Amino acid sequence: MIPRYTRPEMAAIWEPQTRFRIWFEIEAHAADAMADLGIIPKKAAETIWAKGKDAVFDVARIDAIERETRHDVIAFLTHLAEIVGPDARFVHQGMTSSDVLDTCLNVQLCRAADLLIADLDDLLEALERRAKEHRNTLTIGRSHGIHAEPTTFGIKLAFAYAEFMRAKERLAFARMEVATCAISGAVGTFANIDPKVEEHVAKKMGLTPEPVSTQVIPRDRHAMFFSVLAVVASSLERLATEIRHLQRTEVLEVEEFFSPGQKGSSAMPHKR
C-alpha cells in the first residue's frame, strides 16, 4: 500500500507478518480441535501454540523457501516447522491450502470493514452536527448546475447523512457476507477432516462456517463485498465533488479546513 494514502491501522492488516500470524492462528486452532477429537496428541497442539504464539515470522525466510517450492503455504509451513520442531508434523492434517488462504482473507476483510464502519460512524457524527448547525444557513439550490430555488446548507448535509447511513448498512451487510470460514480439505468434501474442526476454527476466528463450498469460499461473497466498497466510494466522491465545486473561486460558498503552515501549491502561493 502507498503510505501517503494509507493509515497504519489499515496497512497493518495487509502486511505479510499479519497474514502469517492469521495463518498460524488458523492452523493452531485447527490443531486444538483435532486434539480434542483425538486425531492428534494434545501435547502436540499445546506445543504448537507455545512455540508459535509469540513467534515473529521471518518473511524473508518464507520468501526464500517459496522461491524453491513455488508454493506459498508450503513455504510458511516449512518455516513454522523450523519454529515448532517435531510436533509440526501434526499441523495442517487433513487441510488444504485454500482452507488457510480463503479463511485468512475473510478475516482480513472483516478487520478492514470494521475500520471502515468506524470511519463511517465518525463521518456520520460530523455530518449530523454540521447539518444541525447549518439548518438555517441559506444557500442557492441548483438544478443542472443552474441557480434554482433557495435551500439550506443543512439540507445538503442532511442528504449526505442519509446517504452514508445507507452506506453503513450496506457495508455491515457486506462484512457479514465475507465473514465465513472453510476448513473442509481438498475439494471441500471433509473426506480427511472432521467438520467439527471447521466449526471450532470459525468460532475462534470470529467467522461462521461456509454452508456449501468446494475447497474455495464462493467468490460471489467477495464480489458483493467489493461492489459495496465501490458504492460507498462513489458516495464519498459525490460529496467531495460537491465540496470541490462549492469552493471554486467563482462560487466560494464553502471552504475546506486549511491548517496553519499548510501550502496549496509550489508555484501559486495564493492557492488554498
Q: Which residues are catalytic?
A: 144, 265
Q: CA 85, 30, 193: angle at the middle one, nearest 5? A: 110
What gap in Å lies between CA 23 and CA 99, rounded to an integer?
10
Q: Are 211 and 31 in contact (CB under 8 A)?
A: no
What gap in Å lies between CA 1 and CA 8, rounded to an integer?
10
Q: Are 81 and 21 in contact (CB under 8 A)?
A: no
Q: CA 63, 68, 71: angle at the middle one, nearest 5? A: 70
E strands in 104-170: 138-143, 146-152
Residue 226: count of CB within 10 angstroms of its CB: 13
DSSP character at residue 267: S
Q: Are 187 and 249 in contact (CB under 8 A)?
A: no
Q: Which three cell numbers stand for residue 157?
A: 448535509
Please report, for residues 106, 165, 253, the alpha-carbon distance to residue 243 in angstroms, rounded to integers and kept in the order given: 35, 19, 9
